[in-house]
Chains A and B, each alone.
Chain A
């Protein structure tokens, strides 16, 4: 694989990232809980596109999201840490204290909802929130279109159960 083999794809890559770069960065930030990580992953996806752009142009958006998802997984594995366990990391000191608190709170809330799910279920729910049709989600996670609905429902039920459990624990603590 030549790193510059995709040079002729540069204009295409630029157009593609101008169109989808923003939503891709948002998706990765949601998946990782980290805006800076999202920027890095988007860059890496850009490079991957130049190196190994898909033969079929039919669904480049789904391809971008799939590569980003795999990169997030690989990066997490490399660092030997779980996804979405970053809420205690120091936030940029250039932001105001209340902004940092607000971001920490939002991240904690999101983490609490997604924590009980495996990466595949998170991917499915986050791609769904980006408006992907079930067929494209199925391609991204390697399942059938029909199974996606079932997997979404299962993930939502897991979240609901987790919320109920948390609420029960909080009520118990309040009474104790």
Chain B
């Protein structure tokens, strides 16, 4: 039982501030406050420091999310450019488009890129994951092949790509996104696993949501592309003997 002649200890005051007191303790604190200004002041003081900390935390949260939003907004420059273009008069739009297309297509690096992109489109299936599901690839696999998992990052976000064999252990690599908007680029997130005994093994690939795609290759052969749609995307790869 609390002696009303003694001051409340700090722990009790914090419990009271946090609504953690049981009803009896709550009543005792209220009674004590009626005649003890000092304890009221102490509680108010603790509350003020809490509020100051709370304010600093919220300001930090805001600054972090604004910084992240800005990265995303900046990465949508290309999208905005095309949005503006679409608002121009049709004749201007088509003329500008034709000139730009001619210039771009005739440039040899662009032509090479277009050819490669076409090959990708015609040779692969894109899988968009649903939260709570895993996409599974059944892959024929020769002993001389190596499994290659490539993280294709957009913007300049970072993350970690994990490849987890069911035999235990993990392989991970740091991803540093280098792309802009949906112009995907390989940002250094490549995991290669070369192992003769891989046939029949299963792998789980864990990717951060900020990534645009995961490419899974066996040797040079593209097996599939994966786009995460939940907080942490994942894809299962089951390798079968060729």
Contact = CB atoms under 8 A, between A and B. Distances in A.
A103 B68 CA distance: 11
Interface stretch (A2-10, A65-73, A167-175): A2-10
A11 B52 CA distance: 39
Contact of B56 (A2, A36, A110, A133): A110
B11 A153 contact: yes
B232 A43 contact: yes
B168 A2 contact: yes
Interface string B156-174: 1111101011111110000
A160 B49 contact: yes
B168 A149 contact: no
A76 interface: no
Contacts, number: 169
Nearest to B207: A43
A47 B158 CA distance: 17
Contacts of A3: 164-170, 204
A149 B133 CA distance: 42
B74 to A, nearest CB: 5
Interface residues of B, number: 58
A149 B20 CA distance: 9
A2 B71 CA distance: 38
Nearest to A12: B132
Interface string A16-31: 0110010000100110
A129 B54 contact: yes
Interface residues of A, number: 61
Interface string B175-190: 0000000000000000
Contacts of B52: 113, 159, 163
A39 B210 contact: yes
B49 A159 contact: yes
Given A39-B208, A40-B158, A153-B13, 13 more contacts: A11-B133, A40-B160, A110-B59, A110-B60, A134-B20, A146-B11, A150-B9, A153-B11, A156-B46, A159-B49, A159-B52, A159-B53, A160-B49
21 contacts: A3-B168, A10-B234, A11-B133, A17-B232, A26-B61, A40-B158, A46-B206, A92-B67, A92-B156, A94-B75, A94-B156, A102-B66, A103-B64, A106-B56, A134-B20, A146-B11, A149-B14, A150-B14, A153-B10, A156-B14, A156-B53
Interface of A: 1-4, 7, 10-11, 14-15, 17-18, 21, 26, 29-30, 33, 35-36, 39-40, 42-44, 46-47, 91-96, 99-100, 102-103, 105-107, 109-110, 113, 125-126, 128-129, 133-134, 146-154, 156-157, 159-160, 163
